[in-house]
């Protein structure tokens, strides 16, 4: 078997493994979001994101009509929600550089 065919077979195997890993992490993240408890969040501030064409929202998490905590959403498409919009969210606490942050995953499609 020529060397070129062996290299192509190895590259094909690596590509299939990478696609499998990406699919598995995507489904694991979706499952984790589904397992988080649902809350009602109110958009309080709209911020520009580092990603072009996206924006982040500062959310106030409400219980019984009163804000209990604030958190930041993941980057969403620009213009998805306005200030004061009530959206369903799943809140997850992440630790980055030793500081805990609350991240809100917005469950409503824009």
Q: What is the pLDDT of residues 49-104, one digit of tens each?
A: 888 888 888 888 888 888 888 888 887 777 778 888 888 888 888 888 888 888 88
Computed over its alpha carbons, how large is the radius of gyration of the chain?
20
What's the pLDDT at 104?
83
Q: Report the alpha-carbon angle 91-56-40, nearest 5.
A: 35
What's the pLDDT at 59?
87
What's the pLDDT at 17?
96
**Domain ranges, ordered by start, for the chain:** 1-35, 38-106
CA distances from 37 to 26, 54, 92 (A): 19, 25, 9
Beta strands 76-77 and 54-63, pairing class: antiparallel
What's the pLDDT at 110?
62
pTM (predicted TM-score): 0.59
Asked if residue 37 lies in contact with residue 25, where contact means CB atoms within 8 angstroms, the answer is no
Q: With bands split at pLDDT 50, 70 and 90, how would you rate the model's confidence at 24?
A: very high
Element (H, E) at 41: strand 38-48
What's the pLDDT at 30?
80
């Amino acid at each position: 078997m020529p060397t070129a065919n062996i290299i192509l077979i190895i590259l094909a195997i690596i590509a299939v493994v990478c696609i499998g890993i990406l699919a598995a992490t995507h489904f694991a993240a979706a499952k984790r979001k589904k397992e988080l408890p649902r809350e009602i969040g109110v958009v309080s501030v709209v911020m520009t994101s580092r990603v072009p064409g996206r924006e982040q929202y500062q959310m106030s998490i409400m219980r019984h009509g009163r804000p209990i905590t604030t958190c930041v959403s993941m980057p969403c498409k620009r213009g998805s929600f306005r200030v004061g919009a009530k959206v369903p969210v799943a809140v997850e606490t992440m630790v980055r550089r030793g500081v805990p942050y609350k991240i809100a995953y917005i469950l409503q499609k824009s």
